[in-house]
Amino acid sequence: MTVKVITYSEARAALKGHMEAVAEDHIPTVITSQRGRPVVMLSLEDYTSMEETIHLLSSPANASRLAESIEQFKQGKASQRGLIDDQED
């Protein structure tokens, strides 16, 4: 995983530019500080995706089903299906 590392001073001096780069490039940025602990800047999209993945894998049964599905896909046993539209009459 690629990560960019900048100092707090660099982040403060060009915050908008760093925020735009993180959101567009999807590369997390670690912001370091001499006196504090480092933090990570992520796009909201990436953060939400990580939270969803954690939620999906938090159930052992669901994690097992996902792993089985991935294995079936790797073996060429997957099939493409359309989405179910809840609005259909």
List pLDDT tens digits, range 12-48: 999 999 999 999 999 999 999 999 999 999 999 999 9
pTM: 0.71
Q: Is residue 51 part of a domain?
A: yes
User: Could you tell me which residue, 67 or 79, shows the higher pLDDT?
Assistant: 67
Q: Which residue has the tokens 């660099």?
A: 10
**87 in a domain, yes or no?**
no
The whole-angstrom separation of Cα 52 and Cα 54 is: 5
The confidence band for 81, taking pLDDT boundaries of 50, 70 and 90, is: confident
Parent domain of 70: 45-74
Please tell me the predicted confidence (pLDDT) of residue 80. 84
CA distance 74 to 38: 38
Residues 29 and 51 in one domain: no
| Backbone torsion region of residue 3, taken as left when φ is above 0, otherwise alpha when ψ lies between -120 and 50, otherwise beta | beta
Burial label, 8 (beta-carbon count in 10 A; 0-12, 13-18, 19+): middle
Does residue 23 belong to any structural domain of this protein?
Answer: yes
